[in-house]
Amino acid sequence: MVRAMADADTAVEFIPADLAPGDGKALELDCRDLDVVRVHSMHEPLFVMAYERLWNEFGPQHEMEAREIVARRLAWQPAAAIGNCWFRYELILVRRQGQFVAVRDHTAVTTCGRGAPHAVVHLSHALVEAAWRRTGLAGWLRAWPMQTARACLAAAGFPAASPITLVAEMEHPDPHFPNRLVRLVAYEKAGFKKVDPAVVQYFQPDFRPPDEIDASGGPRPLPFGLVLRRVGREEEQILHGAEVREIVECLYRMYGTGFREQHMAAMWQNLRDYPDDQANIPLVAPRQ
Ligand SMILES: CC(C)(COP(=O)(O)OP(=O)(O)OC[C@H]1O[C@@H](n2cnc3c(N)ncnc32)[C@H](O)[C@@H]1OP(=O)(O)O)[C@@H](O)C(=O)NCCC(=O)NCCS
């Protein structure tokens, strides 16, 4: 276990046991020169580098939340209780000798919704500088959210050993968009699985500014795939309707903290039409 920085609250650890089953390559990466920090507020100088990189990559496609929403999420630390969930958002920046290497952000949501504590981590964005791709670093980016999950569980007073699910919303594969395919291959190789899109149609909320949404006649939720790592249960090929519902409810509760209620309504309605709690839902390869 390596501590990237001395400050306990800022330090991000390299914990091999947190790596996804297919991310063993990460262990070969020499991490000693990497400076890995959590950015705690939009007033920190490093916020600018972290947010700008994410915005430049994802903002033009309306895939990145506005600065104010990110600032509000950062203020949840160490964790915030909203409704029956606890939320913890983290923005992690990786640099080497002051130069940008990678950035990722994610939100842990813990709930006792189905009677037992569970942490769902929404993997919002990950960006690795081109020169650092396929080096193993992306594996660490997929593992760090586990620390966030445990911190959120602890803040909520739940056992750190409670089940953890990492979830990424990913576009469906389309040969016209090779970048999308790269993401899907990367997560598939790591051992993530996708909730069968033929059984569950998941929608992400409309990320456009609220006034633009209203001016265009209302929200346009986007169809996405739900790509999961159920930690410790990566080999399982099915999950129950109740679990999918709980995961999606966590995501929509998170979005609901920043998006207008009327812009979320269609998604809550769609969730009501999901398969029954007892239904067996196949987990398939992300590229499927
Ligand atoms: C998605 C991203 C974070 C993945 O990181 P990465 O370092 O490129 O990928 P990984 O190391 O996880 O790749 C795992 C596997 O995916 C496949 N893969 C990755 N990039 C590939 C490419 N350009 N062509 C073909 N296969 C590729 C390979 O099988 C690779 O394993 P290998 O290197 O051992 O052969 C990175 O590509 C990136 O920053 N992309 C732009 C932003 C983005 O799409 N973010 C993700 C969504 S939020």
Checking if the pLDDT of 211 tops 70, the result is yes
Checking if the pLDDT of 178 tops 90, the result is no
Q: Which residue has the tokens 């913890």?
A: 88
pLDDT tens-digit readout, 27-75: 999 999 999 999 999 999 999 999 999 999 999 988 898 898 899 999 9
pLDDT tens-digit readout, 71-97: 999 999 889 999 889 999 999 999 999
- Is the link from the previous residue into 78 a cis peptide, with omega within 30 of 0? yes
Q: What is the pLDDT of residue 9?
A: 66
Instruction: Indicate the pTM of the whole model.
Output: 0.94
Residue 4 pLDDT grade (very low, low, confident, very high; cuts 50, 70, 90): very low
CA of 173 to the centre of ligand 1 (A): 15
What is the percent of the chain where pLDDT is above 90?
Answer: 84
Average of per-residue pLDDT across 98-119 = 94
Checking if the pLDDT of 124 tops 70, the result is yes
How far is Cα 211 from Cα 221, in angstroms, rounded to an integer? 15
Ligand 1 atom closest to the CA of 132, numbered from 1: 7
SS3 state at 195: strand
Q: What are phi and psi of 204, to 5 degrees?
A: -95, 145
Ligand 1 atom closest to the CA of 23, numbered from 1: 12
CA of 239 to the centre of ligand 1 (A): 27
Q: What is the pLDDT of residue 78?
A: 87
pLDDT tens-digit readout, 196-209: 999 999 999 988 88
Q: What is the pLDDT of residue 10?
A: 62
> From residue 46, how far is each of 2, 50, 161 by CA, in Å?
22, 6, 32
Checking if the pLDDT of 226 tops 80, the result is yes
Query: Which pair of structure tokens corresponds to residue 160?
Result: 């750190």
How far is Cα 145 from Cα 151, in angstroms, rounded to an integer? 10
Reported in sequence order, the residue ranges of the chain that DSSP labels E, i.e. its strands, are 2-3, 13-14, 34-39, 80-82, 85-96, 99-111, 118-128, 164-170, 193-195, 202-204, 222-230, 238-240, 280-284
CA of 118 to the centre of ligand 1 (A): 29
**Residue to mutate (ligand 1; options 25, 133, 169, 172; most atoms within 8 A of CB):** 133
List pocket residues of ligand 1, CB cut-off 6 Å: 25, 57, 125-128, 133-134, 138, 179, 182-183, 185-186, 189
How far is Cα 153 from Cα 211, in angstroms, rounded to an integer? 36
